[in-house]
Structure 1
Amino acid sequence: MADLDISEVSKRSGLPASTLRYYEEKGLITSIGRRGLARVFEDTVLERLALIAVGRAAGFSLDEIAGMFAPDGRPRIDRRLLTAKADELDATISKLSAMRDGLRHAAACPAPSHAECPTFRRILRAAESGPA
C-alpha cells in the first residue's frame, strides 16, 4: 500500500485537486497527513473515488453518496435506494426516448408544416401540461 500526494491522486483519478479538497471537506475522502504542504492519501482513496464517480454518474447527490459509506470507510449501500434510483432512471429514459422519437418524427414528417403534424401537436400539448 503506497501513500499518494494530492497531485498524484488528481492525476490518477482525473479529478482536479480542488475537487479532492472539496470531497475531503464533505467527508467523502480523508487524507492521512501531509508531505510538506501537500495532502497525502492512502492509495485506497482511488477505489473510493471510483465509487463516488459511479454514484455521481447515476445521479446521486454527494450527501447521498456520503451516506453510502460506513464510519470505517467501507461501502454500506442501501439496496432500496439503488432500486429507487434505477426506477427514477427508467422514468427519465422513457421520457427521453419519447422526446427522441417525437423529434425524429418531426424531422421526417411529410406534413406541410409542423403546426399541421398531429404528432408534433401532441408533443406541444404534452409540453404545455408540464413535466409528467
Structure 2
Amino acid sequence: MDASLLDIAEVAQRSRLAPSALRFYEKKGLIAPAGRNGLRRTYHPDVLERLALITCARSAGFSVAELGRFLQARPSDTDLRTGMTAKADALDEQIGRLTRLRDSLRHAAVCEHEPLVDCPDFKRAVGNVASTSGALPTTGRSHRSCQ
C-alpha cells in the first residue's frame, strides 16, 4: 500500500465525518477512494480538501445533487453558473439574517430591557426588519428603551 494513502478511519477522524458519510459521498460520486487495504477503503490525502468543501457547502444549504453538479462544473456550463449566482445571492441574504441575529444576541447580552426578547432592537433584528441604518446598535451604544 502507498504510504501516503489514508485509511477510511483516518479520513473520518481528520474530516470529522462518520465513515458512513464517506461511503455515502463515494456512492454519490462526490469523492473517490484510491483503493483498498484489505477490506478498508483508502484515499489520497487531497480528499480532505474535497471533504472540507463538501462540508462547507452542505452547511450552506447545498444539496448533494447540487454539489455533484458543482464539482463537475466546466466554464462552458452557463446554466450551472446561473444557478451558482442564484445560490450566492441566497447566501448573501442568509448571511445578512445571521449577522442581524448575531448582532441582536450581542446587544441582548448587555441590554437592560425586561424581558430581553421584548427589546425593540432585538425584535427588529430577529424579525428581519433592518433599522434605518441597516444595523443594530453596538454594545457600546444604548437606546432609550434599554437604559
- When normalised by structure 2's length, the TM-score is 0.57
SS in 1 for 2:57: helix
User: Map of 1:42-121 to 2, 5 A cutoff?
Assistant: 42-70=44-72, 76=74, 78-92=80-94
Aligned length, in residue pairs: 115
Query: Deviations for 1:71-129, whole angstroms, at most 9, x for unmatched residues?
Result: xxxx648443232112223344566678899xx9xxx9x9xxxxxxxx8xxx9xx9xxx
**Cα separation, 2, equivalents of 1:61 and 1:95:** 21
Which residue number in structure 2 is paired with residue 36 of structure 1? Answer: 38
- CA-CA distance at 1:13 after TM superposition: 0.7
Aligned residues with identical type, % of pairs:
48
The aligned amino acid for 2:39 is L
The one of 19, 22, 26 aligned to 1:20: 22
**Cα separation, 2, equivalents of 1:99 and 1:14:** 27
**Cα separation, 1, equivalents of 2:19 and 2:34:** 16
Q: How large is the Cα RMSD of the aligned pairs?
A: 3.3
| Stretches of structure 2 lacking an aligned partner (at least 5 in a row) | 114-119, 128-147
SS in 2 for 1:29: coil
Which residue number in structure 1 is paired with residue 144 of structure 2? Answer: none
- CA-CA distance at 1:55 after TM superposition: 1.4
**Cα separation, 1, equivalents of 2:24 and 2:5:** 20
- When normalised by structure 1's length, the TM-score is 0.62
| Stretches of structure 1 lacking an aligned partner (at least 5 in a row) | 111-118, 127-132
SS in 2 for 1:67: helix
The aligned amino acid for 2:68 is A
Which residue number in structure 1 is paired with residue 145 of structure 2? Answer: none
